[in-house]
Amino acid sequence: MLVDRFKNILRATINDQIENNPVLQNLFDDDDKKEWEKYYEEIKNDTYKYQNTQQQYQSQSEQQYSSQQNQQMSQEDEYYKALEVKRGDDFATIKKSYRKLVKLYHPDLYTDDPAKQEMAQKVTLQINEAYNYFEKKLKN
């Protein structure tokens, strides 16, 4: 308690001396100004670095999202192509086209030619995969 009182008296005396003596006042003002400018520059640089990292994270996440969207869209386009329907057709149209294509490319129709049967199996697999995708997407 005595020490705190002594510090307050000493601080008040020093402040009075600084206010009364213009040489000391200018000396401390210049130092304070330089220190504040230094801290201001540090804060400004830190803020700039923070903003840049935030922008980098945001652009990275946007790129990942857009690449996922593009990948999904290209896969969806392949599914539309496999079912021979236009983009945006309703599920009834997709189902009708699916049934028609399965009847056309069913592997049991090509038992006499193994090459054609293998090709029909691959096409039927693609058609089934596309139909299952749209069934999950459009029915729910």
- The CATH number assigned to the domain holding 71 equals 1.10.287.110
Alpha helices in 21-140 (DSSP H): 22-83, 91-105, 114-139
pLDDT of residue 96: 94
Residue 127 is predicted with a pLDDT of 94
Q: How far apart are CA 119 and CA 57, in angstroms?
A: 46
For residue 41, what pLDDT is reported? Answer: 75
> Is residue 14 domain-resident?
no
Has residue 56 been placed in a domain? yes
pLDDT of 99 reads 94
- Domain with 76 in it: 22-139
Domain assignment of residue 119, yes or no: yes
Q: Is 76 exposed, middle or buried (0-12, 13-18, 19+ CB in 10 A)?
A: middle
The answer to whether position 1 is within a domain reads no
Nearest CA to 83 out of 69, 104, 59, 63 is that of 104
Look up the pTM and report it: 0.50
Q: Do 114 and 108 form a contact (C-beta atoms < 8 A)?
A: no
Dist CA 58 CA 111 (whole Å): 56
The answer to whether position 6 is within a domain reads no
- Domain assignment present for 128: yes
Is residue 16 in some structural domain? no
Give the pLDDT of the chain (140 residues) as one tens digit per residue.
676 777 778 677 777 776 776 665 555 556 666 776 776 677 767 767 777 777 777 777 777 777 777 676 788 888 999 999 998 888 999 999 999 999 998 988 888 888 888 999 999 999 999 999 999 988 76
State the pLDDT at residue 58: 75
pLDDT reported for residue 124: 93
Please tell me the number of Cα atoms within 13 Å of 78 on its side-chain side: 11
Could you tell me if residue 73 is inside a domain? yes
Query: For the chain, how many structural domains are there in total?
Result: 1
